Amino acid sequence: MDREALQERYGITGESAAIRQVVDKIMQVSGTDITVLLQGESGVGKDVTARAIHALSARKRNDLVIVNCGAIPEGIIESELFGHEKGSFTGAHEARKGYFEKADGGTIFLDEIGDTPKNVQVKLLRILENGEYFRVGSSKMLTTDVRVIAATNKDLWELVREGKFREDLYYRLDTVKIKLPPLRERKEDIIPIFRKFVTEFSSKYDSVFQGFSDEAKELLTSYRWPGNVRELRNVAEQLVVLEKSQFIDKDRLQKYLKGRQHLGSTDNLPVLSRGEDEEFRQSGPSADNGLIYRALLEMRTDISDLKKMLAKFLYSTFTEKSVKALPSAIPRDIDPNDISSHLREQMEGESLGISRPAPVQFEDEDEVEKSDLEEFFAGNEIPSIEEAEKFLIEQALKRYEGNRRKASEALGVSERTLYRKLDQYGLQ
C-alpha cells in the first residue's frame, strides 16, 4: 500500500512534509512488533495513528484495546490493566480480566502513558520485557502476547528528570518514536482537512456549505488551533449545523474560535469556556469588566515573567561590585500616559530638569556582551512586552548555544514556560 492509499483509507489528511514523514514511519513499523511511542499535543490524532499501525500489522485480525491511562483513577488502574481475583479488594465480587489479558494476540494502545503511577510503571516494564504479569490478589504468573503502542502529550524525559517517570521504562518505550506535529506547524494541511470535515458533516446533516471568504481562509490558517485536529473538526461541525447555507466570512468564523490567534493583538486575550462565555453574556455591562479583569490578570503574569527574565539574564553574570549605578525609577508625579515620552527625554538627557542617571558601569566590559542589548534598546520607541521577552529568549538561547535547560535557568523561568514561549513566538 502506498502513502496516498494509506492516508485515504485511515483518514490521515495532509500533504505537508511533516505528515508525510509520519505516514512513512507508520509504514516502516506496522509490519513489526516493535514498541512505538507516539508523542504530540492533545488532538493531533494519536489514536488515528495507533489504529493505522494496528490495521497494517499482522495482528489486525485480533483486538486493538485502547486505554486512556490519564482517565483511570490511581486506585484502580492496576486492576484495570492487569485484572483482579475475586475478593482481592472491597467490591471485587468476581474475577475480572485486565486490558492486557483482553489484548492477548493483538495490540494495546496506552494513551497518556505519562500519567501512570510509579508503582504501576514497574509492572508495565516487566510486561514489556517478557510479557509476564500478576492479577491483583493473585500469586499466579500470567503471560500475554501483545504489541504495545504508547502515547503522550508530555515530555517523558522531563518527567524522568523530575522523578515522576521511571528511566528504564522510558528507554523501553522509546524504541521508535513518532512525533505528530500540531496543526500550526503544518498550515498547508489546515484547509484540506477543514474541507474534508465540512464535506462529511454536510452529508451527515443534509446541509449545504456555501464556502468561505479569503479572509476566513486566512483566519483558519493563522489561528493557533490549541485543540489541533479535534478542535478543527468541532468548528467545521458547528459551522455546518449552526450556519447552514450561509457563506462564511471572517466575522462569522471568529465566533467559533475559542483559543488564541497565531499573530496579532488577540494573541494574549483570555480564553473563556462555554459556561463562562454564557455567564458574561447574560450579565449585561459587567461582562466587559470581567473580560478586562481576566486580561489584566494574564498581563500581570506576562509582566512578572519578563521581570524575572530581565533580572536574571541581565545581571546573572555580574558581581555586586561590577554594578556601579542603575537607572533611577520614573518619578511618581509623571502622568502615566506620558511615560514613554518621559523615557525618551531621559535617554536624550532632557528629562524635565532631572539629570540623566549614570549608566551601568562594568569593571571589565569585555566580559559582558551587551552590544545586542544596546542596539535593541537604543531606539526612541519603547519595545512591547512581547518584543522584549522574545529578544531575551533569543539572546539566552544564543548564549547557551540552544541549551534550553540552561537558558531557562538564566531567564529565571521553568523549562515548561520556556517551551510555551518558544511556541508562542515561533522560535526553534
Cβ neighbours for 93, distance < 8 A, ≥ 6 positions apart: 86
Q: Do 110 and 234 belong to one domain?
A: no
Q: Is the dihedral of CA 190, 195, 201, 204 positive or negative?
A: negative
**Whole-angstrom Cα distance, residue 43 to residue 186?**
14
Q: Do 157 and 257 belong to one domain?
A: no
Q: Do 375 and 391 belong to one domain?
A: yes
Q: How far is CA 384 from the centre of its chain?
A: 25
Is residue 413 within 8 A of residue 305, CB to CB? The reply is: yes
Kindly state the cell numbers that stand for 24.
Answer: 512513512
Give the mean pLDDT of 288-299. 54
Q: How far is CA 37 from the centre of its chain?
A: 17
pLDDT > 90 in the chain, percent: 47
Question: Among 47, 41, 116, 166, which Cα is nearest to 419's?
Answer: 41
Q: Do 100 and 131 belong to one domain?
A: yes
Q: Do 106 and 46 belong to one domain?
A: yes
Q: Which of 181, 203, 220 is at the close of a domain?
A: 181
* Residue 271 lies inside a defined structural domain of this protein: no
* Residue 124 lies inside a defined structural domain of this protein: yes
**pLDDT number for residue 426:** 73
**pLDDT number for residue 180:** 95
Q: Do 194 and 125 belong to one domain?
A: no
* Residue 339 lies inside a defined structural domain of this protein: yes
Q: Do 129 and 239 belong to one domain?
A: no
* Residue 290 lies inside a defined structural domain of this protein: no
Q: Do 222 and 363 belong to one domain?
A: no
* Residue 298 lies inside a defined structural domain of this protein: no
Task: Look up the CATH number of the domain holding residue 226.
Answer: 1.10.8.60
Most confident by average pLDDT, 166-180, 305-319, 333-347, 364-378: 166-180
With a cut of 60, say whether residue 44 has pLDDT above it: yes
User: Which 3 state secondary structure label does DSSP give 33?
Assistant: coil
Q: Do 243 and 327 belong to one domain?
A: no
**pLDDT number for residue 300:** 56
Q: Which of 181, 214, 242 is at the close of a domain?
A: 181
**Whole-angstrom Cα distance, residue 230 to residue 234?**
6
Q: Do 140 and 207 belong to one domain?
A: no
User: Which 3 state secondary structure label does DSSP give 90?
Assistant: coil
**Whole-angstrom Cα distance, residue 187 to residue 11?**
18
Cα distances (angstroms) measured from residue 103 to each of 67, 130, 142: 11, 15, 13
Q: Do 123 and 166 belong to one domain?
A: yes
**Of 74-78, 317-321, 380-384, where does mean pLDDT reach its minimum?**
317-321
Task: Look up the CATH number of the domain holding residue 74.
Answer: 3.40.50.300
* Residue 206 lies inside a defined structural domain of this protein: yes
| Global pTM value | 0.60
**Predicted confidence (pLDDT) per residue in 319-358, tens digit:** 444 444 444 444 444 454 454 454 455 555 444 444 444 4
Number of domains within the chain? 3
Q: Which of 232, 263, 294 is at the close of a domain?
A: 263
* Residue 138 lies inside a defined structural domain of this protein: yes
Domain that holds residue 342: 313-424
- 128 falls in which pLDDT band (50, 70, 90)? very high
Q: Do 192 and 174 belong to one domain?
A: no
Kindly state the cell numbers that stand for 376.
Answer: 535593541
Is residue 99 within 8 A of residue 133, CB to CB? The reply is: no
With a cut of 60, say whether residue 253 has pLDDT above it: yes
* Residue 287 lies inside a defined structural domain of this protein: no
